[in-house]
Every structure is written in structure tokens, then in C-alpha cells.
Chains A and B, each alone.
Chain A
Amino acid sequence: MTVPAGVDTDRKGVSAIWNDPQTRGIIYQALALILVVLVGWFLFSNTLQNLEERNISTGFGFLDRSAGFSISESLVDYEASDTYGRAFLVGLLNTFQVALLGIFLATILGTIVGILRLSTNWLVAKLASVYVEVLRNIPVLLQLFVWYGVITVSLPSPRQAFEPMPGVFLSNRGFMIPAPVEDPAYSYMGIAFAVAILLSITLRIWARRRQYLTGAQFPVFPCSVGMLIGLPILGWLIGGAPVVFELPVLQGFNFQGGITLSPEFAALLLGLTTYTSAFIAEIVRGGILGVDYGQTEAAASLGLRRVRILRFIILPQALRLIVPPTTSQYLNLTKNSSLAVAIGYPDLVSVGNTTLNQTGQAIEAVTIFMAVYLSFSLSISVFMNWYNSRIALVER
């Protein structure tokens, strides 16, 4: 940096600091931060002041008050006399339930459809394309209404319920299946399953070590599957092989007993799963197409079998392309679950809206929504980034 001769030294100092890009950057950023804080503080204090002027009560104290409304389905015990806080918890767990199941099912369905779209069979490929294009291009809210309508309008009332097999009923009140009656054998099965998982992991470590030492391969996968299925069955047999099921019985207005899948939950899960699976199908197809075909040929010429080509050559590269966009689909599915309010599934937003309306605490309720969806999204995002960095190609 050159300073023209004859310039006042003081001014030179100031302008020198000002002309330093790094210092200037810091100053700008500090100014921006101060501005953001000031605007935030202004909004916050002004909101509080206005609320007070209009005699609208504020704060989260309402969470301890009795809610007074019922919720149709809940993973934890809930009664109308419980608190608003508990009601929020019920809604939160319902949201989690539908989001996690939806993500799981949409991933499986989407992967299958994505691979089918690449099928060499013309009909299969076309059908998969139609599936993707139709579901992707219709708003998900409409799809939810369609699914809900299909279930509530086209299925008969409980008294005329379909019974496709004994003890299973389909009606406009949902799907009822028999529930196993509580028995110690089921806890044996749970323990056996946990043991099977541990054994599978041990087996895999042992097989790897053996392969390093001797080069001999061991069929880890079939053995693990055998254990994961076989051990629980063994536990069931040891427990006396209970076969007692509680059957749903038509009693009064509806079926009692058994396990019920409500029309609201079914419609929401179906709608979210199929809608998101169409997007995931496209991502999977793109990911697989993104790996150069020469790689497959090269691997084949090394004498690798098809399964191994897929596992060691294609998938590691395809996943690198698939994981990041899939993450955003998971986030979309989670956020779309808030459309539950339209078809009456008591998710977080549905319960929260009711609370908002009963208490008038709009700002507090919306703050809770934002905090929950934000932290849920960030968790998914963090997990998927971790997974992505793990499976991403390590360049050497």
C-alpha cells in the first residue's frame, strides 16, 4: 500500500486501518450484528408492549393448566384433565411416529420404484414413470384428502366391515387387527432379538479378521438373518409358544380390543409415504445413472459377481449422490406431516392449534412449533451429514 507524500500522519493512520480489507470486514460484520440484535430487540419489546396494552396474557404458564380437550390417539397416557404441556407431548410423539415411519417406508418404496424405472422391461419402467410423475405433480394436501376420502367413503361402516381374514376388519373407522395377549414369551423374544443383534456384530468382526488372515470368506449375511429370525422364534417356543390373540369384536358403536390403525393415521402415512417416495425414486434413479457404466464393465472384467459389483463399486458412488438430496426429502416429509390438521390426525400442529385457540397464546404456540420442527430438522440433517461423510469416497 502506498501513501501519497505530504499527507497528515493522523489521517494516514485512520485511512490505513480503513483500507485494510481484514479490519474493514470485521467492522462491517460487527455493524451487521449490532443491527440484527437491535431489530430483534425492537420486535421483541414492541410485541410485548403491544400485547400488554391489549390485555393479552403472555408467557408459557398456560402449559401447566388443564387442557380440557380429548385427543383420539396417543402413544402415552392422556386424558382431558391433563395439562396443555402433556397435550403438546402427545402431539409431538404423534408427529415423530408418523414422520419416522413415513421416512422408513418412503425410503424402501422410493428405492424400489427408482430401480424399477431403470428396468429393461418396458411396461415396468413405464408404470414406475407414471407413478413418479403423477404423485410428484399433485399437491400433497390433495393427495391426503383423496386417501382420507377413499378410506372413509369407500369402506363400509363397522357393522358391515370387510373381514379379509378372521380377526382382521376393514371399515371406515380404520383397520383392526388382533393383538397378541400379554405373555412372558414376548419378553423372551425381545431378549433373543437383542442377543441375535450382538451375535451378528461379533460374527461380522470375526469373519473380517479371518478373511484378513486366511482369505477365506464366511457367509455373514445369511447367518445373521437366520439368527435374527431364528432366535426370537426359539424364545417364543421356550416361552410355551403362546397363540392367544385378542380379537377385535364389534361392540356398541365400534370394534373393541385388538390393534386399531385409525383412518386419519393411515391416510396421512399413505399420503406422505407415496408422495415422498416419488421424489426419492427420482433421486435413486439419478444416483445410479450418475455412476459411469464403464465402472460396471471394468468390475465385471475383474471377475466380480453382480451383487459385489453393486455393493462395492456402484453403491458407494451412487450413495454419495443420493444421500444429500434424500436428506432434504426427509425434512420435507417431516414438515409436510403438519398437514395432518386437515384430516384430523392429532399431530403437533393439530394439538398446538387447538391449544392456541383455547388459550389465545398464539406467539407461544408458534414458538413451540418452530422450536420443534427446527430441532427435528437439524437432527435429521446432522445424522444424514454424518452418514454422508462416512460413506463418501475417501480420496487417497
Chain B
Amino acid sequence: MTLKSFLAAGAFVAASAVAMPAMAGETLDAVRDRGELRCGVNTGLAGFSNPDSEGNWQGLDVDVCKAIAASILGDADAVSYTPLTAQQRFTALQSGEVDVLSRNTTWTLTRDTSLGLHFAPITFYDGQGFMVRKELGVESVHDLDGATVCVQPGTTTELNLADFFRANEMDFEPVVIEDFEEVNAAYFAGRCDAYTTDSSGLASVRSTAPDPTAHMILPEIISKEPLGPAVRQGDDEFFNIVKWVVYALIEAEEYGVNSENLEEMRETSENPGIKRLLGAEPGMGEHLDLEEDWAYNAIEAVGNYGEIFERNVGPDTDLGLERGINGLWTDGGLMYAMPVR
């Protein structure tokens, strides 16, 4: 763990010194030459990125990686996944160890400006919540004065936690453990009264609990956590691709294009928007320096945004999350794609 972050930092220093590719256009070329997209994901967060029993990565963040790979290379499986802790993720991206970071990462001003990163559109609107053991009898976050709280270091969560308790003049004792598995274990062992992270993360952690019904997520959400993929600053071409792949997935849902009716839509649809999106009317791929079927491939591989959500974190999964603010803007949600035209 420590060693890993040391190595990551060391690799960063070394990589910085040996002049890594960071100029415009180089990431796309590198991905094409390699025939593989390098994607940084969470070390294991059910619903977002988690290896299944056969070792295949699954989840919403993973589907974003697949969509990007399908757009560029036409093959959703041409991805190598690098599991990263909260502490390793930015260094891994900066040093070129991964091409894109698709790992429930909050878009903040500091990260956007001082880390040499660009954030692509949000793939999940989240907010920080708290989970407690039901037997504690806690009903609200405001009952947590004096509580011990488990949290992962180096996250916006850790900062929001301190801000929130300060603002409400309450005390707490943090237990800060780097490794996700270890911090979960500490919570389940009763080392902490409460566990805090993004509410989707809480749902994910609870689904892995020995007895999920023994834990409850408190009603309050104390922060905004817009989660989206990030790329290195300075490579506008690749940034555009990641950005528009995400928009394409959302746009597809809006048009009612999904992995089932995709081919039929391309052949028969008279809607100019759908024709542009699926490449029946050429031009969009060219602007991105991709094949015309870039969005077609992405949607074929992972479905539209709605399908991705339902499959990984929706009501029928272990996480059981409602669409809520992650619904389309036409349904009163925040998912709004810039027009593909």
C-alpha cells in the first residue's frame, strides 16, 4: 500500500524526468499503436468497478472504459484495467500509467486546475452520506456528535467530513485507513460508529456486508459529488473523444437508441439526430478523428446511459439505486448531453 504509493510517486518522478508523451494527439496514437486502452479504475467498488468471479471487471465506471475503447478501436474488450486506490489515481494518470481515469472521482476546482487534469462529463451525480449500524439508534447525521467515523484518506469525502462537523460545531474522531478493504473491515468490526463516503459507495459497501439489513444509510446528503472520467491536460484530441463518448451514451438514451434496436435505428430511422449519432449521416466521427461508427460501437458494446445505469447500480441490482438526479433532463434529472451535431 505504502509501497505502492511510493512506487507510484517514484514512477511519476521518473516519468516526468524522461519526458512522457503529453502533447496534443499523442494519447490517441499511443492507444491505437498499442491496440489497447489503459483505464484506471477503483480497486473494487461493487456496481462501479469490481472484478466478478471470473476476474472480469464490471460496473458503471468500467462500462465507460469499454465505451471509449469501442469508439477508438472498435473493440470493447481492448482495455487493460489498472486498479487504483484514492491515493494512487492522480499520479497514475499524470505519469501516463493510464490513459483515462474512470474511477468515481469528484470533479473539484483544485483538481481541475492544479493537477494537470481535465474532467470529462459527469457519469454519476453523487453526494456524501453516512452509514451506521441500526442498533445504534441514530436517526440523523446531527446525532453523530462525538462519533468515530471511518473514512478513506485523500478523498473529498475526508475534507467534507471535517467541514461538516466544523460547520455544525460537532466533534468526531476520524479513523483513516488507506486500503478500501481494510477500512470496510474496520467499520464492520465496530471500530467506527459511522462510515462515510459517497452515497452510492455506501450502498455498494452495504451490499457486501455480512448482514446488509443491519446497516442503514442516514437521510442527509452533506455534499455534491459529481463523478466523471478524467484525462491528462494538454491532449485536447483525446479529451474530446472521452467527452463525446460520454455525451453519446446519454444522447442515445434521449433518442431511445439502445443496444437492442441499434442496428434497426441506423438502417431505418429518419431522425437526423439519430442518423448523425449512429454514423448513418457522416461527419461526426471525422471531427473526432475516429471512424464514423464510433458511437454505434460504444452503444453496441455497453448500451445507452440508461442501460448502463440499470445494469450496474439500478433498482434491480444489489445496490438498488433509483435514477433520481441521474435521470435524463427530460425526466427532471441532471443528465444532459450537448448536441451531437
Q: B166 touching A81 by the CB < 8 A rule?
A: yes
Assembly CA distance A46 to B16 (angstroms): 7
Contacts of A358 in B (CB 8 A): 110, 154, 158-159
Q: A354 touching B176 by the CB < 8 A rule?
A: yes
Q: Residue A374 at the B interface, CB < 8 A?
A: no
Q: How far in angstroms is the closest Cβ of chain A from B225?
A: 15
Q: B153 touching A357 by the CB < 8 A rule?
A: yes
Contacts of B189 in A (CB 8 A): 149, 152-153, 172
Assembly CA distance A353 to B13 (angstroms): 16
Q: B9 touching A349 by the CB < 8 A rule?
A: no
Assembly CA distance A363 to B8 (angstroms): 11
Give the size of the chain B interface in residues (CB under 8 angstroms): 61
Contacts of B176 in A (CB 8 A): 69, 71-72, 344, 346, 350, 354
| Interface CB pairs A-B, < 8 A, 17 | A54-B116, A56-B114, A70-B165, A149-B185, A152-B191, A254-B146, A256-B146, A350-B176, A350-B178, A356-B87, A356-B154, A358-B158, A360-B114, A360-B116, A363-B13, A366-B6, A366-B10
Q: Residue A13 at the B interface, CB < 8 A?
A: no
Q: Residue B19 at the A interface, CB < 8 A?
A: yes
Task: List CB contacts (< 8 Å) of B89-131 with chain A.
Answer: 90-91, 94, 110-111, 113-116
Select which of B177, B178, B233 is within 8 A of A54 by beta carbon: B233
Q: B9 touching A363 by the CB < 8 A rule?
A: yes
Assembly CA distance A251 to B147 (angstroms): 11
Q: How far in angstroms is the closest Cβ of chain B from A374?
A: 14
Contacts of A72 in B (CB 8 A): 173-176
Assembly CA distance A43 to B15 (angstroms): 10
Q: Residue A15 at the B interface, CB < 8 A?
A: no
Would A338 and B234 be within 8 Å (CB), given that A344-B175, A350-B153, A353-B87 are in contact?
A: no
Complex: chain B residue closest to A47, CB-CB: B16
Give 1 or 0 for each of B186-199: 1 = CB within 8 Å of chain A CB. Answer: 10011101000000
Assembly CA distance A350 to B2 (angstroms): 8
Task: List CB contacts (< 8 Å) of A29-86 with chain B.
Answer: 42-43, 46-47, 50-51, 53-57, 68-72, 80-81
Contacts of B90 in A (CB 8 A): 357, 360
Contacts of B193 in A (CB 8 A): 253-254
Assembly CA distance A373 to B145 (angstroms): 37
Q: Residue B180 at the A interface, CB < 8 A?
A: no
Q: Residue B77 at the A interface, CB < 8 A?
A: no
Q: Residue B296 at the A interface, CB < 8 A?
A: no
Q: A53 touching B234 by the CB < 8 A rule?
A: yes
Q: How far in angstroms is the closest Cβ of chain B from A396?
A: 49
Q: Residue A309 at the B interface, CB < 8 A?
A: no
Contacts of A80 in B (CB 8 A): 162-163, 166
Assembly CA distance A254 to B136 (angstroms): 12
Q: Residue B338 at the A interface, CB < 8 A?
A: no
Q: How far in angstroms is the closest Cβ of chain A from B284?
A: 29
Q: Residue B295 at the A interface, CB < 8 A?
A: no
Q: B233 touching A55 by the CB < 8 A rule?
A: yes
Query: Which of A46, A51, A358 neighbours the largest number of chain B CB atoms within 10 Å of its CB?
Result: A358
Select which of B17, B22, B113, B145 is within 8 A of A46 by beta carbon: B17
Q: How many A-B residue pairs have CB under 8 A?
A: 165
Q: A50 touching B20 by the CB < 8 A rule?
A: yes
Give 1 or 0 for each of A239-253: 1 = CB within 8 Å of chain B CB. Answer: 000000000000111
Report whether over half of chain A's contact residues are helix, strand or loop; otherwise say mixed: helix
Q: B87 touching A342 by the CB < 8 A rule?
A: no
Known: A344-B176, A349-B2, A363-B13. 4 other contacts (CB 8 A): A46-B18, A50-B20, A53-B22, A55-B113
Assembly CA distance A387 to B91 (angstroms): 43
Task: List CB contacts (< 8 Å) of A331-366 with chain B.
Answer: 338-339, 341-344, 346, 349-350, 353-354, 356-360, 362-363, 365-366
Q: B116 touching A56 by the CB < 8 A rule?
A: yes
Assembly CA distance A70 to B165 (angstroms): 10
Q: A152 touching B186 by the CB < 8 A rule?
A: yes
Q: Residue B206 at the A interface, CB < 8 A?
A: no
Q: How far in angstroms is the closest Cβ of chain B from A345?
A: 9
Q: B190 touching A152 by the CB < 8 A rule?
A: yes
Contacts of B162 in A (CB 8 A): 68-70, 80
Task: List CB contacts (< 8 Å) of A246-286 with chain B.
Answer: 251-254, 256, 263-264
Q: How far in angstroms is the closest Cβ of chain B from A267?
A: 11
Contacts of A53 in B (CB 8 A): 22, 234
Contacts of A68 in B (CB 8 A): 159, 162-163
Q: B22 touching A54 by the CB < 8 A rule?
A: yes
Select which of B9, B20, B114, B161 is within 8 A of A356 by beta carbon: B9
Q: B177 touching A344 by the CB < 8 A rule?
A: yes
Q: How far in angstroms is the closest Cβ of chain A from B195?
A: 13
Q: Residue A143 at the B interface, CB < 8 A?
A: no
Would A354 and B9 be within 8 Å (CB), given that A46-B16, A72-B176, A359-B114 are in contact?
A: no
Assembly CA distance A51 to B20 (angstroms): 11
Q: Residue B232 at the A interface, CB < 8 A?
A: yes
Task: Kindly list the 9 A-B residue pairs having the minimum CB-CB distance in the complex, ordered from nearest.
Answer: A357-B154, A80-B162, A54-B116, A344-B177, A360-B115, A56-B116, A152-B189, A354-B153, A252-B146
Assembly CA distance A366 to B186 (angstroms): 28
Task: List CB contacts (< 8 Å) of A123-150 with chain B.
Answer: 145, 149
Q: Residue B148 at the A interface, CB < 8 A?
A: yes
